[in-house]
Amino acid sequence: MSINNVIVQDLHIVPYMQTYQAMHDFTQNRHAQTLDEIWLVEHQPVFTQGKVGKAEHLLNCTDIPVIQTDRGGQITYHAPGQQIMYTLIDLRRRHIGIRDMVSFLENSVIQTLAHYGIIAYTKADAPGVYIDHKKICSLGLHINRGCTLHGLALNIDMDLTPFNNINPCGYAGLQMTQLKDYVFNIDRNEIKQQLTDNFINHLPKY
């Protein structure tokens, strides 16, 4: 089923490199009639480095793998309990730019958090979503053939300790937070629905 010509797939826990390769295969093989897709996933513990990421932002070597990617941004951390939303969107077909796309992603998270009574915000010089000066959502994109790959990672209920081994997103001393610090009962399916609905509602129709 598609909404606003977007297919949503809930893939649960998938190895990072499997998803990375699948995103590129999908984008390379898509054509003018291919519907956009959203992939909801979680990954086993992994650090991912952005295409211009600096090595010094990995503060400590651990047994958690570090994978070089082609997304924008610096190093971040993924693990179960973090909701990742990969957005495979044809920007040209919807007549939107990359800055619009970033705003759509950020605002979809802000709206989702507002549903739980949480006031979140963005920063002009540091993409992502923040609560009380702490980061709850990171994002990074790559554009290929006018289409986006990658997306956002929203911290829900996870072990945040490994973030201490990096400068998250390249910012020394940046503290991370998660939804469970603000919401007692978390319905993961509701969060997925809120997140995808809010994002899709931002996308121009075609």
- Residues carrying an active site annotation: 169
**Residues 202, 150: Cα–Cα separation, whole Å:** 18
Other Cβ atoms within 10 Å of 17 Cβ, number: 13
**Residues 27, 123: Cα–Cα separation, whole Å:** 30
The distance from CA 159 to its chain's CA centroid, rounded to whole angstroms, is 17
Task: Supply 156's token pair.
Answer: 């829900």
Asked if residue 157 lies in contact with residue 132, where contact means CB atoms within 8 angstroms, the answer is no
Asked if residue 70 lies in contact with residue 148, where contact means CB atoms within 8 angstroms, the answer is no
Other Cβ atoms within 10 Å of 192 Cβ, number: 19
**Residues 92, 71: Cα–Cα separation, whole Å:** 19
